[in-house]
Amino acid sequence: MALVDEAVLLVDWLNLSIHLKNMRLSFGADLVAGLMSLTRKECSARPGHIELTKAHFVGENLSANVKTAVKKTLIAELHETRTAKEQADLQLAVLAMDHLHSTKGCPRLFFLATGDQDFVPLIERIVGEQAHVVLLVASSARLAPEYRFVAAQPNVTLVSLADSLDLAPLPTSSDDEVPRGVLSLLRLCMAGRVLGGDPKRSIELLSTWGLLSAQGNEEVEFEGLLRQFTRTVPRRVAVPGTRETGNRFVQANRTSLNFSLTSVAETVSQADWILRRTANPAHLPTLGKLASGPFALDDGRTLTQLVDCMKSLSWLVERPDGTFEATLEHAADGLLEPLWRVVLEINRLAYEARAGGVSRDRLFRALTSTPIAQDVKRKGGAAAGEVINLAKRVGVIDTVPHGTDGYLLSIVTGHPLAQEVLTFLAGLVKIFSHDPSAHLAEHEVLAQLSSRDEQSGRPVFGYDTRDRQRVLRVLRRSRLLDRGEGPEHHLRLRDSAWTRSLM
C-alpha cells in the first residue's frame, strides 16, 4: 500500500488520563494543546514534509473544557464512548484501520497516545504496512514488558509526555479545605459527638487528629466549620427519662451537617465511593482507577484533594505500589448505606403503623434481623444501636414527642438523604407498576435502573452495576424487596403500606 506524507494522532484519553493522575500530573485542555504541539513538532523533525492531517480523541465522559479544546484544533475529532475501556479500544482500532486502508494512501506516521499493551497487535499491523509509529505514553517508567518490547522495534519510537511536555502538578484552589472540613465534622459524629453540644471535647478530638491548624485559634476555626457546613434549627424534642417521672420535652436547637449544601452532599457521596472501592484488599485501586464514577469529569484536582483528606483522617492509606486501601472499619458499607437502611426501616414501619415515627425498640429489632449493610459482620444489637445514634447525630432522624409521656424516632422532613431513599423506592415501584406481584430477573431490573439514569441525565441509582446492586440490597434488607435463589435471581416487590402509597 502506498504511503502518503501525512500523520494521524490517535488518543486513548482514558488510559492516558489514568496514568497522569497516578503521577499526580494535570490533564485537560492544556494536555490537548500539548499533544497537538508535540505531534506537529515530531512531524517537522522528520525527513520530507509530513503534515498532521487528523487527530482522534476517544474516551468516555470527556469534560467540557477538553471537548472545547479538541474542537478548536480544527483537525481533531471527538469520539465519546458509552463504556470505559472495551468500546474505546475497539473504536481506536477501527479508526486506525480506516487510515491504513484510506483510498488516498496510508499515512506515513501514526501517533498512538496510550500505554495500553492491548494495542501491541495494532502497532505491529501498522508497522507491517511500513508506516512509523510514535508511542506517546505518560511515562516510560512503568510500561508493561510486552509494550516496552514492541516500543524497541524498528519503525517504533517511544516518547514520554512527562519528559516532553511541561505538565504541571495537579492544581490546588481556595476550596482545597472543603473535604477536610466536611469529613472532619462527619468523623466527629461517627465518634459520638453532637455538633451543637459542648465544643471543647470536639476541638480536642480534631486537634488530636491533626485536623485543626493548632495556631491558637482552634475555637474560632471550629466555629467557622460549624457555620460553613452545618445548619441549626429549633425543635421540640423528647428526652428519654431515667426516673419514674418518665420523659420530658424540651425546646432545643439542632445542629447537624447541612446535606442541602452541594459541598457537603458531594463530599460525603464521593468519600463513600472511594471507601467502597478501596475496601477489598485483593483488588486495590490506584488513583487513576478511582477516577471514574463521580470523578469521571474531574481534572484530577477534586479526587486528589479528597484522597489526601481521607489519608489525613486515617480512613485511607497509600501503599508503596501506588494503590489505596481503606482502613476505616466497615469501609465496604461506605458512609451512606447504613443511613439509608435506618431511613428505610423507619419509613416502612411508620407507614405500617400509620404513625409519624417508630419506637426505638421496634426499629432496633428491625435492624438486628440482618446485617446493616454489605459487611455481613456488621450486625446485631451493637451495630443497630450505633447506626441509630449516628443517624441522629448526622441529622437525618430525630426524637419526636408521642402521647403524654413517650417519643418516636422520625425522619427529619425534607432531609436530602431521606429524599434520596424515597427516589430509590419510587423508581423501583415504577418498574413493577404494571404488575406489583410480578417476578422480574435481577439483570432486567438493573438494566431498567441504568436506563432511567441515562434518561434523567444524572446518576440517581449510581454510576455502575455495583452501585445499582447496592440499592437493591438495601431495599431487600429493609423488607421492601424479595430475591429468589434461581440463576437469574428473580426480584419481587414486597407488598407494604409504603409501596402501596407510591403506586
Predicted confidence band at 83 (pLDDT cuts at 50, 70, 90)? low
Instruction: Kindly state whether residues 180 and 125 are assigned to the same domain.
Output: no
Cα four-point dihedral sign 421, 423, 424, 428:
positive
Question: What CATH number does residue 112 fall under?
Answer: 3.40.50.1010
Last residue of a domain, one of 102, 131, 164: 164
Higher pLDDT, 204 or 176: 204
CATH at 460: 1.10.10
253 with 301, same domain: the answer is yes
**pLDDT on residue 172:** 37
Residues 412-433 have a mean pLDDT of 92
Residues 162-200 have pLDDT tens digits of 999 988 776 433 467 889 889 999 999 999 998 987 788
Number of domains in the chain: 3
Q: Compute the Cα dihedral for 243, 244, 250, 253 and give only its sign.
A: positive
Same domain, 485 and 356: yes
Q: Are residues 183 and 298 in the same domain?
A: yes
- Yes or no: say if 237 and 261 are a contact pair by the CB < 8 Å rule: no
The pLDDT, as a whole number, for residue 247 is 61
Helix 262-277 and helix 301-312, axial crossing angle in degrees, nearest 10: 70
Residue whose cell numbers read 483528606: 309
* Residue at which a domain ends, from 164, 189, 220: 164
282 and 143 fall within a common domain = no
Pinpoint the alpha helices (H) of 172-245: 178-190, 199-208, 218-229
Q: Are residues 401 and 460 in the same domain?
A: yes
| pLDDT attached to residue 85 | 64
Residue 24 sits in the same domain as residue 84:
yes
Mean pLDDT for 431-456 is 88
Residues 217 and 146 in one domain: no
User: Does one domain contain both 380 and 298?
Assistant: no
Q: Which domain holds residue 147?
A: 3-164
- Mean residue pLDDT of the chain comes to 88
Q: Say if residue 33 is in the same domain as residue 149.
A: yes
Residues 145 and 18 in one domain: yes
If one counts every other C-beta atom within 10 angstroms of the C-beta of residue 208, the result is 9
| pTM (predicted TM-score) | 0.79
Nearest to 397 by CA among 411, 408, 386, 387: 411
177 and 194, same structural domain? yes
Residue at a domain's end among 164, 198, 216: 164
User: Is residue 410 a contact partner of residue 401, using CB atoms and an 8 Å limit?
Assistant: no
pLDDT range class, residue 216, cuts 50, 70, 90: low
